[in-house]
Amino acid sequence: MEYVKYESVKDDFISIAWYVGSTCNYSCSYCIPDFYDGKKKFPPYEPFLDFADRVQEKYPDKRILLTLYGGEVTLWKKFEEFLDLCKSKSIEVRIVSNGSRSISWWKRVAPKLNYTVISYHTEFATEEHIIEVMKTLTNKGGHLNLMVKHDAFDSTIEIGKRISEECKVMVVPRFLRVNFTTELYPYTEDQLKLFKRTPLGNRYLDQGEYRYYGMMVKTETGAVRRFPNVRHIFFNKLNRWKGWKCWGGIDSFFVDYDGNIYVGQCRRGKFGVLGEDYNIPNEPFICDKDICNCTQDMLEAKKEKV
């Protein structure tokens, strides 16, 4: 059985991922310095909003879903100002945060967000604080990514179970990759089995329309199979699309710390820089990467065998 086409279960969004700056108040052992060294300062937001306007103009029947990454994006002094402008332009915003801001801050800002992914890093965060953050986000759209180190596996999983039960939120254990490559840290086979069974505990909160969508896969015979999340694709080694058509640059976009605009987080298919002249692609990109390892690229951009 050969798979010939991968596409998102939900296709009414144009997804944009923006890495806004490398300023972070954590320096996790499994992270790479580019993500927390502070060398990439928070940029002016006007060039990005111009890009979003152009995407909306090109795809007027689609909704724009912007996912903000850091560093730690909540440290951006103009963060709330930017959220207000996004709302005025009907740009829906999802963020990935370490949750370190104060509870009063989260209570004020959470209503301005469409969805919040809190990543719990046990090397720096405390269980007590994360519990209060998740209680603040309950029913406002959010879930917890539990970053699980292989050498602190059992204790971290127990923390995740407690948070899931006490806060009535979805807790998703996340495996870690060496330097953000496709190489996993040395988890045991039993540990890897747990990552394939997500979320942890009960599914208290449906991730809804802002979640990372599942993927429908068609075979050469026309049969359709659905993969509910990226872990199924990763563990089954199905993320090999070199030579295939990729709709990154059409279904989704990636903007890096320097404002470079690509068809994917793999930093392939650069077609412009924020604030400069560029043309948004009209045709799919032919993948030239051996292995795809970015969640957005896997799940939010259609792939088709040439």
| pLDDT score recorded for residue 161 | 92
pLDDT digits (tens, 9 = 90+) for 131-167: 999 999 877 788 899 999 999 999 999 999 999 999 8
pLDDT greater than 90 at residue 24: yes
Among 8-12, 23-27, 68-72, 189-193, where is mean pLDDT lowest? Answer: 8-12
| pLDDT score recorded for residue 294 | 81
Q: What is the mean pLDDT of the chain?
A: 91
| pLDDT score recorded for residue 285 | 95
| pLDDT score recorded for residue 238 | 86
pLDDT digits (tens, 9 = 90+) for 190-249: 999 888 876 775 555 555 566 666 788 899 999 998 887 777 788 888 889 999 999 999
| pLDDT score recorded for residue 78 | 98
- What mean pLDDT comes out for the span 271-291? 95
Boundaries of domain holding 127: 3-304
pLDDT greater than 60 at residue 44: yes
When divided into structural domains, the chain yields a total of 1
| pLDDT score recorded for residue 203 | 58
Give the domain CATH number at 229: 3.20.20
The DSSP string of the chain is --EEEEEES--SEEEEEEE---B-S---TTS-GGGTBS-SPPPPSHHHHHHHHHHHHH-TTSEEEEEEESS-GGG-TTHHHHHHHHHHTTEEEEEEE---S-HHHHHHHGGG-SEEEEEE-TTT--HHHHHHHHHHHTTSSEEEEEE--GGGHHHHHHHHHHHHHHHT--EEEE--BGGGSSPBP---HHHHHHHHS-SBS---S--GGGS---EEEEETTS-EEEE-SHHHHHHTT----TTSEE-BTTTEEEE-TT-EEESSTT--S--EETTS------S-EE---S----HHHHHHS-EE--
